[in-house]
Structure 1
Amino acid sequence: MARWRPGARSYDARVLTDRDLDEALVLCARAPVRSTLAAARLVEARTTGLRAARGVLWGYPAEGPLEAICWAGANLVPVVPDGVDVDRACAAFAALALRHGRRSSSVVGERDAVLALWDRLEPRWPAAREVRDDQPSLAIDGEPLVEPDPAVRRSVPDELGVVLPACVRMFVEEVGYSPVAAGGSAYEDRVRQLIRDGRSFVRREEVAGRPISFKAELGAVTPQVAQVQGVWVDPLFRGHGLSESGMAAVVRITRAEVAPVVSLYVNAYNERALRTYRRVGFEQVGTYATVLF
């Protein structure tokens, strides 16, 4: 546990170290679906160290056992378990975030914590591009209710050339801009790593110029939960049930080989996607929010 600084108030947050990772992961395990995004980075950091995990970890309060944490990396992810004062914890995290300046591309996680944190950051940080404040968090811990598509499988490294364009098209549809437009290799490296780690799923087609009809990734993985991200069906193949059978295949493979619970979150206004996931067997277990910059 990080040592308390003389003069610190009990409701301040503190910067944690590698020695705090086990305690932080125990806290995350109290709400494994809610904390998946942060816990996945902590699982990585337990092997590589926080420095190599490309982020910092904050803990609340300034002294004593951890009650809440916040991962600060490419995303700012607060985790505040039930029974903890979310306003006080997020006020403490906001103080650290304001001190360090905005370095994250989003604030994301359980809705109450994200909105409490953003309420304190908004007056002093650059304006958000979009605030998505109603994103049902869904999970399934049993067999899918529809037949899995036998053609959906893990992609392989040689398929990067067709998987990457599909990922870019999905990103543009979902977020509104291309992740590769500014140059650099960060997005391509991320897709390559997902393929290498067995966390990229595809259905291949023989239609000229449209080699992938369905794709999805496991964007965050812990021993308890695998969170699906980047679900996409090529517009040419929509309306044929590929999203249902494809997701059923992802669920079956993931539960058998990765983690017992499969989760995801989706915008509440995306009624078609919600119907699809519920037909597969996902049930709502909470609500996320995302602030995009």
Structure 2
Amino acid sequence: MLTQTTTRVLEPSDLGAALAILDREPVANAFVSARVQVAGLDPWRLGGEMWGWYEDGMLRSLCYAGANLVPISATPAAVRGFADRARRSGRRCSSIVGPAGPTARLWRLLEPSWGPAREVRAHQPLMVADRMPDGIEPDPYVRRVRKNEMETIMPACVAMFTEEVGVSPLAGDGGLLYQARVAELVGSGRAFARIEDGKVVFKAEIGAATPQVCQIQGVWVAPEYRGRGLSVTGMAAVLRYALADVAPVVSLYVNDFNKPARASYQRVGFDEVGEFMSVLF
């Protein structure tokens, strides 16, 4: 029995306790919960380690340490413990992302050794919807992307990623990992688009998904089609698919400075329920 405050890498036998913490905030924890529910806590299958923070022998907080560093239900004491471990391990992640309060505290502790960041997005509203909006007709031309349409969808995915993150997903490994992730979403029927004359006009994906909640990501409208309301009707179409086929609650998070996107999501019925923060390297 652990009798002091401490952090350690969780093992498969800790799965039940970890899931209990993740289930406390199913919307905020959707990304990590989805991975853990599929892969368990084996680091190879999970794509990273799950750190646990213990107080008086009880698991209180988590931190996913993979391509992203994600604090979960992290108390201030847990954040300090996770920061100490992260400093010792060295930076291996491409971002720190999670609920704004714990993420900000974690970054303050890590910035002296990990900084500077390429960009800090301190305010990213977390939004949810659990029903279709009144008065918004879903775009009838938004549909699931077919498996034989990878060459059609990839340029739009790359454009979206580059515009959103500020770097191309093709850097480093030539885009192999990114293309595999897009192919996974297409293959599972969670990539959606409006395609006209072989060109993607609107697209979005349902990324993380659990029985409680799923998360829409990668929303993009071709630049020459912006300002026509396609994001509103397109999102309504994706929301309809998500509620019908994936989960009873649909979430997303958005940059606070992206006022057109926030307005579109609000029109489709998404309400703000929290705030995320992202630190990009």
Superposition TM-score tier, normalisation by shorter sequence: over 0.9
* 1:95-143 Cα deviation digits (max 9, x unpaired): 1111211111000010001111111111111421011000000000112
| Secondary structure of residue in 1 paired with 2:4 | coil
Structure 2 match to 1:153: 143
Alignment of 1:168-187 (within 5 A): 168-182=158-172, 183-187=174-178
What's 1:68 paired with? 61
Q: Which position in structure 2 is the counterpart of 1:277?
A: 265
SS of structure 2 residue aligned to 1:137: strand
Identity %: 49
2:191 is matched with which residue: 196, 200, 206? Answer: 200
8 Å contact kept, 2:169–2:175: no
What's 1:123 paired with? 112
Distance 1:263 1:10, change over 3 A: same
Q: Is the contact made by 2:99 and 2:277 (CA closer than 8 Å) also made in structure 1?
A: yes
Q: Distance in 2 between matches of 1:143 and 1:30?
A: 25
Which ranges of 4 or more aligned residues in structure 1 deviate by more than 4 Å? none
Select 1:59's aligned residue among 27, 44, 52: 52
With normalisation by structure 1, the TM-score equals: 0.91
User: Does residue 108 of structure 1 match 2:101?
Assistant: no
Distance 2:225 2:175 in 1: 31
TM-score, normalising length from structure 2?
0.95
Q: Report the Cα distance in structure 1 between the residues aligned to 2:164 and 2:259, rounded to whole angstroms.
A: 15
Distance 2:116 2:35 in 1: 27
Quote the residue 2:38 is aligned against: 44
The answer as to 2:18 corresponding to 1:28 is: no
Deviation, 1:38, is 1.5
Higher strand share: 2
Q: How many equivalent pairs are there?
A: 279
Q: Could you tell me whether the CA contact under 8 Å between 1:171 and 1:230 is conserved in 2?
A: yes
1:261 aligns with 2:249: yes
Distance 2:268 2:23 in 1: 25
Whether the aligned pair in 2 keeps the contact of 1:70 and 1:76 (CA below 8 Å) is yes
Whether contact under 8 Å (1:37, 1:109) holds in the other structure is no
Of residues 144-153 and 260-269 in structure 1, the stretch that sits farther from structure 2 once superposed is 144-153
In 1: Cα distance, 2:210 partner to 2:257 partner: 28
Q: 2:73 aligns with which of 72, 80, 101?
A: 80
Gaps (5+ residues) in structure 1? Answer: none
Which residue of structure 1 lines up, in the alignment, with residue 275 of structure 2?
287
Structure-2 separation of matches of 1:184 and 1:283:
34
Q: How far apart, CA to CA, are the structure 1 residues paired with 2:46 and 2:203?
A: 26
Is residue 2:224 matched to residue 1:236?
yes
For the aligned residues, what is the CA RMSD? 1.6
